[in-house]
Amino acid sequence: MTEVADGLEASFEAQDGTGAAIARPMLAGSRAPGAAAFESFVRSGVGGLEVKAFTGASDAAGGVAVPDEIDTMIDATLKSISPIRSIANVVQVGSSGYRKLVTSGGTPSGWASETGSRDETATPAFHEIAPPSGELYANPAASQAMLDDAAFDVEQWLAGEIAAEFAKAEGAAFVNGDGTDKPKGFLQATVSLAGDATRSFGQLQYLPSGAAGAFGDDAEETLIDLVQTLRPPYRQGAVWVMNSATLARIRKFRTSAGEFLWQPSLAAGQPATLLGYPVVEAEDMPDIAANSLSIAFGNFKAGYLIAERSATQILRDPYSNKPFVHFYATKRVGGMVSNSEAIKLMRFSAS
């Protein structure tokens, strides 16, 4: 037995003496601490994750905070799937409530001589914006056998599942949400034919297409009129928003000179344009029908506000539906029109 041990020791000494690197399998613990801990939690329910105790409703209830690397993947995927999020003003909040003040009317001024008296000028009107919000959740599941498979990319799967669920719900709510336990979509705002000077704050101006459920005699002029209803300060950064069916009809329109109104992108990564402005396809916009608000044009960075909690919370539930493991993810999101002068709509009606 002593001879065997001496032989092994001599073999190790000979290997070390060559100076060659000894190939050893990498252990899970040698990776980045956050990634290893999260994968251990997802696969087996144990790990060194910090448990938080905060929700908007109760201090005693809480979940497990998603590591930064996972939260980053979810946000990046949401921007590519939910188009309104990518063009709106998104703010991160630390609580369930959010308030924003918006002024209207400007600050009037006046002229006077060098020694003339100065009368008091009017003060801008203040309006409080409080986006309605709700708890956005996803509850994907996987079998324990799939989680045990070492070749399965658990983190990528979890990020993709949550992102797909969140993007689907967000896209519909930002466009047409009723504001009850969810964001209020911009198409749910009160609409009016009145211009910016006379319209009440919070109402969106619409322009009739000239015919019920269709474009009028001159679609090009109607689209140009819609662009011009948006005042110049808002046109910088303005975009068109419509679904694919509406865009398909507009892409066939030609000018009197025979040129297409729609211009394809000339460079990779650049959007196609309509009358010089980018087009965003949002499938939650309604199809063209009688009295439908199927086209929006405006500066959504100035006109629509999204307020969200910065952290996504996940609860791992391996007990409710054995042998499946559920990952219950929640995120609080709110939204509403913040500046009704920055978004214009086209209603497919005669007036």
Instruction: Enumerate the domain spans of the chain.
Output: 47-106+121-181+306-337, 189-303+340-347
Kindly indicate the confidence band of residue 264, based on its pLDDT and cuts at 50, 70 and 90.
Answer: confident
Given this model, what pLDDT does residue 62 score? 45
% pLDDT > 70, the chain: 76
Closest residue by Cα to residue 135 from 90, 164, 166, 163:
166
Query: Using CA atoms, how far apart are residues 113 and 17, in angstroms rounded to an integer?
Result: 96
Please state which of the ranges 119-123, 140-144, 266-270 shows the lowest mean pLDDT. 266-270
**What rounded mean pLDDT belongs to the chain?**
80
Given this model, what pLDDT does residue 60 score? 46
Please state which of the ranges 115-124, 162-171, 191-200, 278-287 shows the lowest mean pLDDT. 115-124
Kindly indicate the confidence band of residue 4, based on its pLDDT and cuts at 50, 70 and 90.
Answer: low
Q: What fold is seen in the domain 189-303+340-347?
A: hypothetical protein PF0899 fold (3.30.2320)
The two three-digit tokens of residue 327, written as one number:
């990952």
Q: What is the pLDDT of residues 55-100, one digit of tens each?
A: 444 444 445 556 666 676 777 777 767 789 999 999 988 776 777 7
Given this model, what pLDDT does residue 61 score? 43
pTM of the model: 0.74
Given this model, what pLDDT does residue 48 score? 52
Tell me, what DSSP letter sits at residue 283?
T
CB atoms within 10 A of CB 74: 21
CATH code for the domain defined by 47-106+121-181+306-337: 3.30.2400.10
Q: What is the mean pLDDT of residues 193-214?
A: 92
CA contacts within 13 A on the Cβ side of 142: 19
Q: What is the pLDDT of residues 15-47, one digit of tens each?
A: 555 555 545 444 444 455 556 666 676 666 666
Instruction: Please check whether residue 200 is in contact with residue 192, taking contact to mean a CB–CB distance below 8 angstroms.
Output: yes
Given this model, what pLDDT does residue 165 score? 84
Do the domains at 47-106+121-181+306-337 and 189-303+340-347 have one common CATH topology? no
Given this model, what pLDDT does residue 29 score? 44
Q: What is the pLDDT of residues 314-346, one digit of tens each?
A: 888 889 988 888 888 888 899 999 999 999 999
Q: Which stretch of DSSP H or E encloses residue 191?
A: strand 191-192
